Amino acid sequence: DSGVTQTPKHLITATGQRVTLRCSPRSGDLSVYWYQQSLDQGLQFLIQYYNGEERAKGNILERFSAQQFPDLHSELNLSSLELGDSALYFCASARDWRNTEAFFGQGTRLTVV
């Protein structure tokens, strides 16, 4: 167990819908990352938050947004869902915003039908 908790584990929803994925980082970790893993794109960095503020942005679509709350948990919001958004979404956390060890949660498997 990495100490990073993601909910839900599985999510099935229809195209056009909106979903929220939740992540609780390890105790003491201030940095949260979101990654998308699909068969054809591999592991892609989406966005990073550090202590409530956005720190870095990757290949995140405009339909997607995220935030980190004062208690340090983070949510990834995916809207106007398309079939191609079906993927595993991982959250990872680290102590600092710099390049330190990142520990991954178990992921949320999103299926858009």
Q: Which residues bind other proteins (CB under 8 A)?
A: 2, 31, 33, 35, 42-45, 48, 55-56, 58, 90, 94, 96-107
**Closest approach of other proteins to the CB of residue 43, in Å:** 4
Nearer to other proteins, 66 or 105 (CB): 105
Question: Which secondary structure element, helix H or strand E, spans residue 47, and what is its range?
Answer: strand 42-50
Q: How far is the CB of 53 from other proteins (least distance, A)?
A: 12
Nearer to other proteins, 56 or 113 (CB): 56
Residue with smaller CB distance to other proteins, 67 or 104: 104
d(C-alpha 39, C-alpha 34), whole Å = 17
* CB 16, min distance to other proteins, A: 27
Measured from the CB atom, is 40 or 62 closer to other proteins? 40
Query: Tokens 């584990």 belong to which residue?
Result: 9
Burial readout 8-40 (b: 16 or more C-beta within 10 A, e: otherwise): eeebebeeeeebebebbbbeebbbbbbbbeeee
How many C-beta atoms surround the C-beta of residue 68 within 10 A? 23
